[in-house]
């Protein structure tokens, strides 16, 4: 991975947009990132790391902390990075979540985090990824490193590796565990322990379940269970055979009982049939009288139609006689009505002369109706002209009065405008004074608020400082306790070794065969787990102390910032006055300003009103002139209209000057004419109708008389026929007939039901006789059995069979239960064998991985030891060069030959031929060793990342501790890295490097607080 172009804006200390074009290096693969402390040198690497992984170079800085605090709300925060990887060019752009200026309105909005990754070909993107998860996976597949590994390989912070050099075994183990992420090996150890423990627990559960099955079967051991299964099987077979025999006996007794029950039922059926026969004979005797009544009713029912015909003929004759009587009465009334109608019609005919006079008067009035209408129209026109004349005169007078009032109002308005103009002239000066007083009051208020905040911030700083001091003492106590425990652990290890030594055996520490004073165990032997547990607790106390220190420093900065803000405000104020005095004066000037502003507003209104009044007075004058002309014209029109009215009145009677009166009289004449004609028509119509009605009634009476005589003869004939048929049916007279069909016998359905009952009773009697003959045939020669005795024998056989069957079922159930227990026990035995074999394997592996057997080294410690050897081997290739062949790194185990040693490191001095601790190195020598170790670690991490190669590396600080000669050697070693094609960037503030490295990235901090960076080619000397 080789950077081509880096652009970022409002990022960390860089307030404005920065563009770093790496093509400016012009083939230089070794450059210096130079600048003052805090200018933002490491932030360049932060930008690269954030663009690729969304995280800063330091894990403590979250993405939300990367935006520049001084950046304006409308300035975006982003990182745009273009880099080359092998033969391909890639572009990635990323921005964190931050608060920006809203696109609409004056407020703010949240800009959400986003990222875009593109593959560039011929200057155009050909592939694109926008999802953060997809981008992270793609970056990992391209570069081959996760973010943590990228920080280790690309940025080499010297302070961290010096701490790694000088750390003890426990600290170095913890650092390497984080660097190489060897928690997976520790987790493997724990998983092996858990699996072995799970298998042991499973084996114990299997044994417990086997014991449970034996206890459930009430057997002491498996041999007894086997014997019980065989014994129970034999007993079950014997009971099964006995149950079969008892079942056969029970079925035989059941058949005998069923046969006896069938014979007994036949004897019972014979007795029941004899009882039913006696009942049926009694019913036959009762049915004889019923049958006689039924036969009489049937004969009478045959005469029902004749009787009904006689009744109908008799009713028709009576009805026709009544109709004849009614027609006679109506004829007499019709004759009287005809005579009365004749007299009325003749009286109306006598009044025809009066009708002719009314018609002549009506014609004359209709001819004068048009003249009356014209007169009324002329009267209305004259009245309208008179009203218009009066209205015009009144409007002219009103316009004159309105014009006088307008002139008076206009004069008053002009006087008011003059007064208001004098008041408005003072408004501007009063407004300026109000603004000055408001600013002064706001400054005093802010100073008072800052004073309160300063008191609170000072109290917060004091509390945070006290908490930090308390936490520091707690951490120092825990650290002292840890040192004491380490001394005890060392003594305990010596005592353990001494316990295994015998006189003459070589000491594993000094090699001597004599042991005059062996170490003794003091107290409990402390394990590595105890030390790690206390180490973690001490680290937690130390971390808590650092966090509290940071909080106290932040509280102190906040307090100092508030004090500075208060002093700045106090210095900007020209003079100090009490806030109450300022407020009182401000209130006075505000009231004056309100009055002046009100006067200004009223002045505008009055000026507008004056203009409106001038226009209105001009309009009113024009209207008054027009109205006077209209009044004159209306007077002339009124005189002409009155003359026309007088001329038309002379042609009409005085009573008919009003057209409505004439029309009312005409309407009355027309109504009288129509009424006379209507009464004449009605009288003539009623006379003719009376004559017609009288003639019709006379004809109807004659026809009705003939029909009445015919119906009387028909009723007599029907009576004679009915009486003849009654005598033929055996009835003496009509009363005898009516008794035969009286009551329910008149209903045909009742007679039918009686007939069916009679037939049913006869059929039942015949069926009972047949049943009796059949039952006698079936019981002939048989004896009635003893059913109670047969039932008792059947119940006894069934009870014996059930008893034996229950014993057989219980024995079979116990046999099955014993078989199931034996089968479950055998299956668990097989599972237990497999679990025991698997447990033996896993227990050996767990002991080996945790260091309890074999070489007594845990898996994680072995891996870390191997990695440390690789790192030191790679580091020595550069340390020998930079130290001119004097120094090389080696592990502590090489010195004492103990393969079970820890992760101790020493430096071997080839000049003296002796090894010595790391702490004996000088500052410059420590830097060379740290740099070699960092470069070696970078090579090892790359090799363990699948051979992925990074073409860029940043080295942070440490060169200030070297003398001139050693600096030359270190730079030559770094320049040699260029042969591998890497781009090497050294992050340093040392001025001497500017004269030695021609390509530089100068980072400068401006006075406004922001930083800027640019590439410079050429040394300071040139």
Instruction: Give the burial class of 177: count Cβ atoms within 10 A of its Cβ; 0-12 exposed, 13-18 middle, 19 or more buried.
Output: middle
Report d(CA 81, CA 68) in Å as an integer: 19
Report d(CA 2, CA 82) in Å as an integer: 9
pLDDT at 573 (0 to 100): 52
pLDDT at 116 (0 to 100): 95
Report d(CA 379, CA 636) in Å as an integer: 16
Report d(CA 920, CA 608) in Å as an integer: 98
DSSP strands (E only) in 13-160: 18-21, 30-35, 78-85, 88-95, 98-101, 108-111, 114-121, 124-129, 155-157
Q: 1020: closest CA among 27, 32, 30, 21?
A: 32
Task: For the chain, state the CA radius of gyration.
Answer: 68
Helices (H) and strands (E) in the chain, counts: 20, 17
Whether residue 143 contacts residue 948, with contact meaning beta carbons closer than 8 Å, is answered with yes
* CB under 8 A, 24+ apart: contacts of 379-383: 379/645, 381/641, 381/644, 382/638, 382/641, 382/642, 382/644, 382/645
pLDDT at 531 (0 to 100): 73
Count of Cβ atoms closer than 10 Å to residue 622 Cβ:
11
Residue 775's H or E segment, with its range, is helix 748-779
pLDDT at 898 (0 to 100): 41
Q: Are strands 2-9 and 78-85 parallel, antiparallel or unpaired?
A: antiparallel
Report d(CA 721, CA 307) in Å as an integer: 9
Q: 179: closest CA among 935, 891, 867, 859?
A: 867
Burial call 714-733: b when 16+ CB within 10 Å, e when fewer: ebeebbeebbeebeeeebee
Whether residue 993 contacts residue 986, with contact meaning beta carbons closer than 8 Å, is answered with yes
Count of Cβ atoms closer than 10 Å to residue 801 Cβ:
21
pLDDT at 19 (0 to 100): 92
Report d(CA 273, CA 284) in Å as an integer: 17
Report d(CA 859, CA 959) in Å as an integer: 38
* CB under 8 A, 24+ apart: contacts of 318-321: 320/704, 320/707, 320/708, 320/711, 321/708
Count of Cβ atoms closer than 10 Å to residue 312 Cβ:
13
Q: Are strands 114-121 and 124-129 parallel, antiparallel or unpaired?
A: antiparallel
pLDDT at 519 (0 to 100): 58
**Count of residues making up the chain:** 1022
Residue 485: partners with Cβ closer than 8 Å, 6 or more residues away:
526, 530, 531, 534
Order of all β-strands in the sheet with 18-21: 18-21, 2-9, 78-85, 88-95, 114-121, 124-129
Separation in Å, CA 435 to CA 424, 577, 830 = 18, 16, 98
3-state secondary structure (DSSP) of residue 679: helix
Burial call 65-103: b when 16+ CB within 10 Å, e when fewer: ebbbeebeeebebbbbbbbeeeeebbbbbbbbebebeee
- β-strand partners of 155: 954
pLDDT at 899 (0 to 100): 44
Q: Are strands 999-1005 and 1011-1017 parallel, antiparallel or unpaired?
A: antiparallel
Order of all β-strands in the sheet with 155-157: 155-157, 952-956, 983-988, 30-35, 999-1005, 1011-1017
- β-strand partners of 244: none
Question: pTM score, two decimals?
Answer: 0.39
Residue 201: partners with Cβ closer than 8 Å, 6 or more residues away:
none
pLDDT at 896 (0 to 100): 42
Whether residue 577 contacts residue 447, with contact meaning beta carbons closer than 8 Å, is answered with no
Whether residue 1003 contacts residue 1015, with contact meaning beta carbons closer than 8 Å, is answered with no
Backbone angles phi, psi at 857, to 5 degrees: -125, 130
Residue 7's H or E segment, with its range, is strand 2-9
Separation in Å, CA 521 to CA 64, 490, 491, 518 = 55, 11, 7, 10
Report d(CA 240, CA 307) in Å as an integer: 92
Separation in Å, CA 166 to CA 163, 552, 809, 903, 906 = 5, 30, 84, 12, 10
Residue 988's H or E segment, with its range, is strand 983-988
**Mean pLDDT per 10-residue segment, the chain (1022 residues):** 90 89 80 82 88 84 83 91 90 92 81 93 91 90 78 63 68 69 77 82 82 80 83 85 85 82 78 81 80 79 79 83 81 79 74 71 73 74 79 79 81 80 73 78 80 85 86 83 73 62 62 60 62 82 83 82 75 62 79 79 80 81 77 76 73 69 77 79 79 80 81 81 79 78 81 83 83 78 77 84 86 84 83 80 78 73 83 86 85 50 78 83 78 77 62 70 68 66 77 79 78 80 50
């Amino acid at each position: 991975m080789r950077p081509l172009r880096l652009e970022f804006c409002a990022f960390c200390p860089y307030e404005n947009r920065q563009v770093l074009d790496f093509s400016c290096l012009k083939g230089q693969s070794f450059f210096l990132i130079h600048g003052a402390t805090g200018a933002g040198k490491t932030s360049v690497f932060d930008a690269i790391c954030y663009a690729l992984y969304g995280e800063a170079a330091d894990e403590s800085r979250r993405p939300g902390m990367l935006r520049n605090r001084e950046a304006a709300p409308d300035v975006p925060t982003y990182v745009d990075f273009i880099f080359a990887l092998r033969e391909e060019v890639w572009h990635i752009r990323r921005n964190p979540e931050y608060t920006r200026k809203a696109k609409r309105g004056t407020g703010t909005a949240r800009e959400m985090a986003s990222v875009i990754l593109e593959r560039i070909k011929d200057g155009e993107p050909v592939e694109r990824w926008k999802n953060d998860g997809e981008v992270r996976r793609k970056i990992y597949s391209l570069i081959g490193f996760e973010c943590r590994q990228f920080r280790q390989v690309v940025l080499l912070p010297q302070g961290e590796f010096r701490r790694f050099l000088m750390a003890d075994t426990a600290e170095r183990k913890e650092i390497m565990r984080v660097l190489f992420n060897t928690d997976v090996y520790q987790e493997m150890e724990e998983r092996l322990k858990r699996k072995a423990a799970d298998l042991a627990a499973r084996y114990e559960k299997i044994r417990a379940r086997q014991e449970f099955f034996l206890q459930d079967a009430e057997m002491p051991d498996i041999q007894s269970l086997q014997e019980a299964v065989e014994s129970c099987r034999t007993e079950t077979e014997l009971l099964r055979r006995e149950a079969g025999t008892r079942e056969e006996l029970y079925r035989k007794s059941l058949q005998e009982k069923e046969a006896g029950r069938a014979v007994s039922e036949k004897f019972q059926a014979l007795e029941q049939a004899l009882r039913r026969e006696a009942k049926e004979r009694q019913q036959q005797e009762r049915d004889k009288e019923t049958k006689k009544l039924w036969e009489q009713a049937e004969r009478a029912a045959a005469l029902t139609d004749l009787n009904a015909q006689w009744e109908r003929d008799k009713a028709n004759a009576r009805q026709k006689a009544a109709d004849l009587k009614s027609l006679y009465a109506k004829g007499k009334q019709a004759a009287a009505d005809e005579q009365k109608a004749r007299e009325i019609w003749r009286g109306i005919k006598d009044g025809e002369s009066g009708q002719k006079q009314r018609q002549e008067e009506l014609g004359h009035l209709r001819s004068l109706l048009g003249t009356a209408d014209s007169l009324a129209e002329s009267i209305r026109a004259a009245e309208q002209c008179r009203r218009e004349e009066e209205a015009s005169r009144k409007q002219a007078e009103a316009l004159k009065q309105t014009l006088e009032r307008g002139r008076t109002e206009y004069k008053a308005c002009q006087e008011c405008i003059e007064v208001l103009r004098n008041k408005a002239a003072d408004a501007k000066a009063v407004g300026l004074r109000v603004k000055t007083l408001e600013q002064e009051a706001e400054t005093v208020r802010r100073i008072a608020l800052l004073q309160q905040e300063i008191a609170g911030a000072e109290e917060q700083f004091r509390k945070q400082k006290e908490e930090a001091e308390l936490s520091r003492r707690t951490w120092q106590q825990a650290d002292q306790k840890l040192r004491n425990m380490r001394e005890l652990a060392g003594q305990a290890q010596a005592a353990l070794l001494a316990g295994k030594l015998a006189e003459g055996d070589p000491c594993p520490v000094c090699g001597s065969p004599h042991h005059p004073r062996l170490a003794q165990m003091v107290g409990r032997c402390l394990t590595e787990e105890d030390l790690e547990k206390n180490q973690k607790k001490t680290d937690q106390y130390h971390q808590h102390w650092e966090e509290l220190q940071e909080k106290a420093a932040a509280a102190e900065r906040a307090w100092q910032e508030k004090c500075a803000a208060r002093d700045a405000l106090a210095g900007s104020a020209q003079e100090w006055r009490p806030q109450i005095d300022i407020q009182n004066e401000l209130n006075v000037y505000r009231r004056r300003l309100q009055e002046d502003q009100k006067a200004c507003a009223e002045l505008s209104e009055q000026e507008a009103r004056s203009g409106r009044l001038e226009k209105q007075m001009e309009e009113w004058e024009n209207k008054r002139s027009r109205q006077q002309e209209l009044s004159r014209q209306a007077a002339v029109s009124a005189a002409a209209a009155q003359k026309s009215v007088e001329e038309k009145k002379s042609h009409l009677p005085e009573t008919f000057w009003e057209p409505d009166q004439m029309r009312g009289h005409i309407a009355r004449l027309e109504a009288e004419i129509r009424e006379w004609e209507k009464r004449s028509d009605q009288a003539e119509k009623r006379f003719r109708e009376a004559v017609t009605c009288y003639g019709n009634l006379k004809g109807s009476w004659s026809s009705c008389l003939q029909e009445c005589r015919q119906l009387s003869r028909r009723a007599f004939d029907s009576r004679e026929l009915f009486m003849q048929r009654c005598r033929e049916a055996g009835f003496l007279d009509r009363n005898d007939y009516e008794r035969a069909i009286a009551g329910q016998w008149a209903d045909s359905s009742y007679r039918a039901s009686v007939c069916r009952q009679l037939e049913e009773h006869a059929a039942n009697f015949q069926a009972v006789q047949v049943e009796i003959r059949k039952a006698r045939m079936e019981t002939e020669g048989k004896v009635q059995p003893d059913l109670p005795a047969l039932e008792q024998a059947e119940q006894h056989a069934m009870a014996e069979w059930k008893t034996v069957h229950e014993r057989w079922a219980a024995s079979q159930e116990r046999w099955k239960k014993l078989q199931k227990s034996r089968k479950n026990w055998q299956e668990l035995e097989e599972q237990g064998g497999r679990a025991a074999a698997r447990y033996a394997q896993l227990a050996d592996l767990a002991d080996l991985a945790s260091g309890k057997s074999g070489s007594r080294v845990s898996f994680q410690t072995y891996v870390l030891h191997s990695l440390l050897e690789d790192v030191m081997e790679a580091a020595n290739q550069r340390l020998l060069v930079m130290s001119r062949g004097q120094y090389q790194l080696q592990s502590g185990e090489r010195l004492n030959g103990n393969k079970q040693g820890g992760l101790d490191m020493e430096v071997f001095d080839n000049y003296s031929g002796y090894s010595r601790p790391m702490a004996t190195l000088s500052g410059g020598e420590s830097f060379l060793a740290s740099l070699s170790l960092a470069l070696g670690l970078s090579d090892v991490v790359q090799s363990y990342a699948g051979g992925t190669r990074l073409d860029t590396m940043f080295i942070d600080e440490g060169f200030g501790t070297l003398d001139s000669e050693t600096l030359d050697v270190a730079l030559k070693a770094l320049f040699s890295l260029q042969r591998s094609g890497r781009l090497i960037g050294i992050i340093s503030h040392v001025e001497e490097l500017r004269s030695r490295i021609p390509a530089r990235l100068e980072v400068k901090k401006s006075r406004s607080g922001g930083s800027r960076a640019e590439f410079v080619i050429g040394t300071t000397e040139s």
